[in-house]
Structures are given as structure tokens and as C-alpha cells.
Structure 1
Amino acid sequence: MNLEKKICDITVVVQGPVQTFKDRKQEEGITVKCLKSIREHLPGAKIILSTWHGQELQGLDYDQLVLCDDPGQNIRQYKLDGTPRYYNNNRQIVSSSEGLKKVTTKYAMKLRSDNYLTSNDFVMLQKKFQKRCNDYKFLQERVVMSNVFARQYSKGHKVAFHLNDFFYFGLTKDLLTLWDLPLVEDFIPTKEQPYHDSHPNYVIDCAQLFWLKALNKFDPSIQLEHLLDNSKAKLKQSDICYANNIIIGEPSDIGLGLCKRFIENSRVSRPKGKCAHIYFFEWQQLYKKHCDSGFNVECSLVEKIEVFIYRLMYTHSLYIEAKFRIMKRKLNWYSTN
């Protein structure tokens, strides 16, 4: 494969605010760093900056600008004290989809404006795993994603359909499938359900929400009732969707750099948080199991042992605690209803 030719057929959609925006703080100079990294690692690629009206654009290096109307924050749940919890789900959908709609190249990347590239390894990685199975084969080609917040475990329990929303690279039409989504409607509390649709269980995570919305375009029966809805059938369904449609890599595997708030004193940058994520070797194991039985998983025994130990220390220890919390929530809920 001619890497230079492939890069010229890529458009990077940098989405999000380029400075502190209403309820969203932004690291000083991070978008400049983001854009410079694209020029360095993807020379010849086109950059579309998809941001909001009123943002300061001076000094930013891009090829095309998309200015979006701010849909505002959305409410997905209410706290036990009755106050709403606000999310930026619709902002991410709008800035991602509006930018991707302007792409004319065969391949595209969705990159947050507060992250940056450290290499172009994702380009070759996207073509490395060619075999696929027939079950849940939704996208035309695999899309490369980061494992940051792509969880294997949450609250000590295995979770299904829990992906990352930072970084996507693949066919433009596949990225549009994943991000041209209906906006999230505000949850309206009722007397029967004053907190969220999943209460007394935990609410579905935002990363699960985006992935499920995309999968429902192909199979509306793919659903989760709550964050820890993890029957064997749903976990298997989730695993096959991962193996057959995406590639999950760690930032160092794909060439992704994270802003300071995700690396300085952040749980996701320490073993305690990282060990809950899906590791690249674990995605390879899914690929081997469901798509290519002859594939040789690239992972050292040391890495596997290290992940196992960290999960014993930090992840599995949360299992019983979460069980008790859920039981307590259910008892409180049913006793008052």
C-alpha cells in the first residue's frame, strides 16, 4: 500500500470547541497543537474544523470551516436530590456529523479538538485485519478507535457495547453511519420514574448510547436496559460487533495524544483506571475467536499478567460493592413505590 497516496485520500474532522466554551473548559493552545500534529503526521490530508459560532479562530490552520449552531446541553437523568445532570451528547453529535457531511475523500477521521496525533500508525492498522464473519457485519470496513473509556469493566462488572467517543478512523461512509445520529431527547421525569429510564439500575453510559444508536440503524433489537445489562448473550453480541466492525487500540498503538486533563492526575492514565479498558490484545483475541482462527495475537505474557494483577487489585474488588449498592437502590426504590 502506498502510504502517501492513502494519506492524500484522508480528511480529518476536528470537532468541538477551540477555546473555553460555556460549560466546557478547554486547555490553552490545545487545538493549535491538534492541527499542527495533523499537518506533521498526515501531510497532504485535508482538515475540516467543525466548531461553534463565536469561537476565536485566529492562528488556527485548517482547510475548511464548518460553524455549527449550538444545540446546548442535554439532560439524560436527574440526581436523587432532583437536580438535572447535564451532558454534551448533542454537541458532540452535531459537530461530528456536520463536519463529516462535508468530507469528499474516501477516508475520514473524527478527532476531538482537545486531542492530537502522535503518529499515523492508524492508517496501516485499519487495513491490517481483513477477515470478517457474517454475524453483525454492519460497517463496510473496520473503523479504528481508541480504548480510552472503551470499557471491559465498569463498577467491577463486565459491560457490553461500551466504546470510546474520542477517535474514529475509517471509510467516510462508515463514520457517517456512526455519527449521523438523531439528537438525544431530554429525559422528562415523572412520578413513576423521577430519575432516569434505567433507575434503580445505573443509567446507560454516553459511550454505550452513541454505539447503540448507530447499531440500531442495522438491528433495532440490539438494546441495553442499563449500564450493567450484561447477560452472556448480550456480551457475546457485543464482542462480535467489536470483532467484526472496529479495531480497538491503545493510544500508543494508533498514534493518539490526549490533552492534559486526561493524563495529569486522571484515573484513565493510571493503572487503576486503565485496567478497566479493553486492551489491544483483548480486541485481537476477539478477532481471532470470531473472524480469523489462525491469527497470532501480539501480546507478551508479561503484559497479560500485569493486566490480570491490576484487575484483581482495582477492578474485581468493586464487584461485590457494586452489587450491594444496586441492591440498596432497588430496596429503597421498591419500598417507596
Structure 2
Amino acid sequence: MSDFSDISVVVQGPVQSFQDREQEPGITQKCLESVRRHLPGSTLILSTWPGQELAGLDFDRLVISDDPGSNVRFFGRDGAPHRFNNNRQIVSTREGLKEVTTKYAVKLRSDNYLTGNNFVALQRAYPKRTSTHCFLKERVVVSNVFTRQYAKGFRVPFHLSDFFYFGLTEDLKALWDLALFDDAQDPIRDSEDTLFTDYPPDCTQMFWIKALRKFDSSLSINGLLDRSPLKMNQSDLCFANNLIIASPPELGLGLCQKFLGTARISRTKGQCAQWQHWEWQEIYRRYCDPDFPKAPASVKANLFLKRLVHVHPVKLETLFKLHKIRRISESGSIK
């Protein structure tokens, strides 16, 4: 395929370092140039903030949104507010997608870039679906970077990356036309001990759950490790029926330097905690297409051994920490 005129790419985020977020010099220019190279004919939309230096950048449309600022999701055990850029991500993505008029769209962070266009063919490679938890019109292709199978040694539900999305524009709009997160107000009522059963949910879990609840309001989590059999099954069904999960090389996605080299997510420990494409294929086979080929036993064994070394030993550490936190919390309540 040499013409991608039915695709728009929303590059969202800061162009340079912005507020408390560092940005690799020149990465947004590299991002925009990569779209021109790998998706010729596509429409390129840059969605960013006021005051960014735009000279020399190549795009078709520019969206400038007022900065909503960081949001306070909860207060720590020391009473300090924990701030995140969740609302900034929602605004820059949502407002950029509003400008899309093509059938398909890409959501691409301004600090990542394309190395190919494999994701286009990948999106059409898995046609079968089941009726249960089938919310989107077509599958959306996402990156496995930060799409975690495991966190703190345990399998976790709904842990979907926010790095990269490709699919029908109406599906991406459904996933990112989200209300902003309200700020936590009270250090007691909105503390992490009061709000969550274990650890606070990851931001990526919150985005995905917030979107899914538009289709099924019963879906929820109350902590990073809120992993009952029901919720794990719901999570797998949502992944199998609405997404395709693949690694950056399989997609044609490049990452900025802070996610490479010795970064935690690039080390073996981080990579083997993520969903692998063949693992997604396994749940696709389980729920959608029983005739789809199984992954080779050698591939399964290799990942099992890596997780045995790098992932599962963390369970004991997590259980000890949670026990300690509960004891401290209970002693504080008694006082």
C-alpha cells in the first residue's frame, strides 16, 4: 500500500520540554518527518499547547489547546498530592481527533515516531470477533509498551498502554472523548489508603476503564492489583475483542531515548512483564477464532522461564509491603 490518504495522524503532546515534562530535543520534528516518510498521503495533525516553538515543523493542521494543568488523583500517605498529566493527555488527544475527517486515525505521542506502517495491515489481520464485550466497530492496534500482563509480580487487568492507537476514527474518538479527571481535594478522604484496596491503579488502567465504562458501566477496578477471576476474564475479553497488541518492531513504532537502553521498560524484567503479540493471539484464539494456530511451545517456555526469574519473585516483596502498609494503617486508625 503506497497511498494512505484515508488515514490522519494526530501527534499529541508538547514540542519542547513543557512544565514538568522533559522532552528529548528534536524528537517532535523526527516524529513528524517519520509520518511523512511512512504514511505518504496521510493528513498530519499536530495537537499541542500554547507557546511551543513550531518553526521548521511540517504538519497539515495545528490544534492549540489551553493547558488544563496537571491533575491530583490522590494524596499519599504523607499527605502530599500526587500529580499526573492525565488531563493533558486527554485534551491534546481529544481535541486533535476532533479535527480528523478521514476514515482511520493514528494517535501518536509527540516523543515517539514511526519506523514503518506494519500496523495498517495488522489492523485487518484478525477479522473474527465474539459478541461478548465487543464494543468497538473494528479492532484498534496498540503498543505492548506499558501494556502489562504483570505488575508487582501479579497479573493485572485492564493495563493498556496509551502510547499508540490505530483504528477507525470513530473508535479512537470513542476511546478518547473523555471527561477530565476531577482533582482529589481531601488528604484524608482522598488518600491512597482510603481510595484503593492495594496500590493506586496505573494511569493507563484509568484511561482504558474510563473509556470502557461508556459501553459497560459495570466495568471497574479498585486498585492496581484488583485481579479477581471475573475482572481478569473481563479484561481479557476486552483485549481480545477490541484490540490488537503488538511490540514496537511489529507495529513500526520507534521510542524516544528515555524508554530505551537501561530504562526499566527496556530491560528484560520490564519487557517480559508486558503482553507479547503471541499472547494476545492466544486470547484471540480462545475467545474469537478457535482455529487460529497456537504459539509454539518453545516460545511459551522461553517467556515462562524469563518471568520465573524476573517477574514472579516480586510477588513475595509485594505481599510483604502490602502487609506492612495495612499494619501501619490499622495502627493509625486505632490511635
1:202 and 2:199 aligned:
yes
Q: Which amino acid aligns with 2:215?
A: F
Question: What amino acid sits opposite 2:103 in the alignment?
Answer: K
Q: CA deviation at 1:196?
A: 5.8
Say whether residues 1:60 and 2:69 are aligned partners. Answer: no
Number of aligned pairs?
333
Question: Counterparts of 1:32-111 in structure 2 under 5 Å?
Answer: 32-111=29-108
Query: What is the CA–CA distance in structure 1 between the aligned matches of 2:131 and 2:155, rounded to whole Å?
Result: 25
Give the match's secondary structure for 1:336: helix
Unmatched runs of 5 consecutive residues or more in structure 2? none
| Equivalent residue, structure 2, for 1:237 | 234
Secondary structure of 2:10 counterpart: strand
Query: Counterparts of 1:270 and 1:191 in 2: how far apart (Å)?
Result: 37
Alpha-carbon distance change, 175 to 333 in structure 1, aligned in 2, over 3 angstroms = same
Asked if residue 163 in structure 1 is aligned to residue 168 in structure 2, the reply is no
Let me know the Cα RMSD of the aligned residues. Answer: 1.3
- Deviation of the 1:86 alpha carbon: 1.1
Q: Which of 304, 310, 315 is equivalent to 1:308?
A: 304
Q: Is the 8 A contact 1:144 1:168 kept in 2?
A: yes
The match for 1:265 is: 262
Match of 1:25 in 2: 22
Matched, 1:214 2:218: no
How many angstroms apart in 2 are the aligned matches of 1:74 and 1:103?
27
The equivalent residue for 1:4 is: 2
The residue type paired with residue 129 of structure 1 is Y
Is this contact kept in 2: 1:200–1:333, CA < 8 A? no
Partner of 2:140: 143
Deviation at 1:300, TM superposition (A): 4.5
**1 CA distance for matches of 2:107 and 2:194?**
30
SS in 2 for 1:305: helix
1:119 aligned to which of 116, 122, 141: 116
1:310 Cα deviation from its structure 2 partner: 1.2
1:330 matched residue in structure 2? 326
Could you list the per-position Cα deviations for residues 299-322 of structure 1 after superposition, in whole angstroms to 9, with x for gaps in the alignment? 444432221111011100011111
Deviations 1:68-98 (A, max 9, x none): 1000000112222221121000000000000
Q: Which amino acid aligns with 1:336?
A: G
Structure 1 spans left out of the alignment, 5+ residues? none
3-state SS, counterpart of residue 2 of structure 2: helix
Q: CA deviation at 1:334?
A: 1.9
C-alpha separation in 2, matches of 1:300 and 1:56: 50
TM-score norm. by structure 2 comes to 0.97
What is the percent sequence identity of the aligned residues?
53
Q: Distance in 2 between matches of 1:163 and 1:305?
A: 24
Q: TM-score, normalised by structure 1?
A: 0.96
Structure 1 residue 274 corresponds to structure 2 residue 268: no
Measured in 1, the distance between the counterparts of 2:186 and 2:301 equals 46
Q: Write the distance in 1 (CA, Å) between the matches of 2:259 and 2:252.
A: 16
Distance 1:196 1:26, change over 3 A: farther
Counterpart CA distance in 2 for 1:285 and 1:103 is 33
Tell me, in whole angstroms, the C-alpha distance in 1 between the residues paired with 2:242 and 2:100: 21
Report the Cα distance in structure 2 between the residues aligned to 1:273 and 1:195, rounded to whole angstroms.
Answer: 25
Q: Deviations over 1:134-184 (max 9, x none)?
A: 100100000000000000000001100000000000000000011110001
